[in-house]
Chain A
Amino acid sequence: MSRTSTATSSRGKKKRPVNVATKKKKTTKKTAIHRSQQSPKLGLSNELLLKMHSLMVKSRVLEERLIKIYKTGDAYFWIGGPGEEAFGVALGLLAKKGRGPEYDYLHLHYRCTPTLVAMGMPMIDSIRLIMNKSTDRCTGGRNFSNHYCFPEWNVVPVSSPIEVQYTTAIGTAHVQRRTKSNGITIVTGGDAGSAEGDFASCLVWASRPANPLPMLITVQNNAWGISTSYEGQHGETTIADRGAAFNMRTRVINGNDPIESYKALEEEIYYIRRNQKPVVLEARLSRLFGHSSADGANRKQDQDCCIEIFEDQLLSAGLLKPADIQRVWSEYEAEGRAALEQVRGESAPQADSLWDHYYADGENGDWRKF
């Protein structure tokens, strides 16, 4: 798919050429860009800004590929996180990646493709997951798209219930606190999920004065819970305010802004590592393709696109040219198509694998064989 056609699907119907031309004129006046330089306007290194952009595009291309896979009948269902790239990529880049309590544990929900892409997940892993192939290393063909699991990065299994990660997260954080590790626990969820009791449980357990937990408790507030609007659920001024009631440090950020997201997450993660105390961080962001394939998975025109906004900034700062942007999108499109073609040829899980992993170490769990 060309950059132009990608713009039609991902970047919505907004007309960009005028903007692009304007920015292009500005960039031509600039001298060569050095990747290690700090962008004076944007406040992060050029290298990081370009890396973030690249990963955001990669994640978006992947999510759009997943939607296409669903729409062409190659998957039963799609759910994911297009629109959350600014926040998700920043989070993935800042997580201390590894296995065991010395590293960060990630208790994610089902809109976290951007975070996994930033951590290094190959596109093909996500495609195998949505297509339920036997090669799906996260679930073996057993679960929905975006239900990731990467033990080598402490990414624990994503579950469909929208709240349970908030209670399991306290357990990994407890171990990290007890072992005095440098790792922290990161938990993500949506604004609708914060209505569940598990969110309150998380606040209670994380903030006990004698046992504060090193946790980054995030809410990706896209203002929707399937079809329930934010106003239909929330009386609180901000969701983060609920953390304040527990004397926790809180913050509300524009999750559509990758630079603000990165800086805020960097500060809060540093605070948590240093002080071994929890933070509640609410990121306000877009839900670009609705809840899931159940409501169509079509581009919502009333939602801001974080990549569009970011590309405008990068063009304006002279860090990218339109051709650069087109190349980035095209390369990832090609990667996604190649991955899809490969996965199409891979095997499906067979019925004889049904009882695999019922118990650990291959122990039988089928009562017919007791």
Chain B
Amino acid sequence: MANMAQAIRLALHYGEQNLQVKDIFGEDVGMPLGGVFTATQGLDTTWNTPLDERGIIGMAMGIGLTGERCVAEIQFCDYIFNTIDLLKIAGNTLWVSHGNYNMPIVVMTPVGAGIRGSVYHSHSFDAWATRLPGWKVVMPSTPLDAYGLLISAIKDPNPVLFLKPKALLRVRGEELLPGEPTSEKTLKKMIDAPIGDRSKWKAQWPEMEELDISIGQGKITREGDQATVVTYGRHVAMCNKVADDLASEGKRVEVIDLRSLYPYDWQMVKASIQKTGKVLFVNEDTEVTNFGEHLAYRTTSELFYELYAKPRVLAGLNLPGIGLHANLEENSVPQVKNIRKEIDELLAEVP
């Protein structure tokens, strides 16, 4: 099965071939490197930019203003912060121009901790991203979702932030992408650049097919009726593990992978909470004005009388950074044990 980096590459290739993508760019995005996580190796329309994030976002916006499709990358979301006002403008262009100009761009950037990335390679951006009205924001948790969501993002006439959970980029999926060779070795040989001289290497692309994962559509990854856990990105796998562990103890926890942060699948979340009466929101961005807080607020506002317990948010500590040492990182952002503790407490609550 493809890993997430390969899935992203395959989606971008599909975009080049079928969706009129003419520019895929960012720092080290072009060959010979093809992206620091290899997600852009071997593509036809990649190119390297100056090390200038504002220039990268501005370039994408200008291309978008012409109506052409492009995918820009900020190498790590830790370096996207000096582009915030450009991102705000990209989000408001359609609105403030009274519908005169769309902004059909995709910006992808790796997010989150989990690779011992230290202070400036471990930031999260999901809470910030959801405060950029006009953007759509997605974050996949599997290679298959990465493939489908990226194709949807490219096709979308609005600006879409494609947040890549960096800790999952090397993780293989459990489902084949449509058109993916069944052999991992074959896929690797076809689309992974060789070590060493790559000057004569060309990717051999499989015939990929479109996959429709609508932006705004969540996914139930574990079914249950005693508590709901809503999460996204790399914490989906952690929450699934806790749900599986609890299932072996006879406890039934429903896990929802939101996949899209904005617009988000409230109908799915709402239906689940109405079923379970208990909910935990999990993500790793810092806990103050966290996106999970918005969901918890909405839960309280709309479902208060259907709840058996207070809505909970488990998020990263409100620290200035993620410390490098494992003891620091693992105690800064939610781990399996923290999720387990929260769910245990949630399940134990008696109205």
Residues of A within 8 A of B (CB): 100-101, 105, 107, 136-140, 142-143, 147, 149-151, 156-157, 159, 161, 164, 166-175, 178, 185, 197-198, 201, 204-205, 208, 356-361, 363-365, 367, 370
Contacts and interface: CB of A to CB of B under 8 A. Distances in A.
B205 interface: no
A198 B89 CA distance: 14
B97 A149 contact: yes
A185 B99 CA distance: 22
A173 B67 CA distance: 13
A171 B98 contact: no
18 contacts: A105-B62, A139-B98, A149-B101, A164-B58, A167-B59, A167-B86, A168-B61, A168-B89, A171-B59, A171-B63, A171-B65, A172-B62, A172-B65, A201-B58, A204-B52, A360-B104, A363-B158, A365-B134
B52 A157 contact: no
Contacts of B157: 359-361
B60 A171 contact: yes
Interface residues of B, number: 46
A364 B266 CA distance: 13
Given A356-B99, A370-B267, A164 B59 contact: no
A356 B245 CA distance: 47
Contact of B50 (A138, A178, A198, A204): A204
B231 to A, nearest CB: 18
Q: Which of A137, A139, A172, A204 has the most CB of B within 10 A?
A: A172
B52 A100 contact: no
Contacts of B89: 159, 161, 164, 168
B58 A365 contact: no
A208 B55 CA distance: 13
Given A157-B97, A168-B89, 11 more contacts: A137-B100, A140-B98, A149-B100, A156-B101, A167-B86, A175-B62, A201-B58, A204-B55, A356-B99, A357-B94, A370-B263
Nearest to A361: B157
A167 B66 CA distance: 14
B85 A157 contact: no
B152 to A, nearest CB: 13
A178 B22 contact: yes
Contacts of A171: 58-66
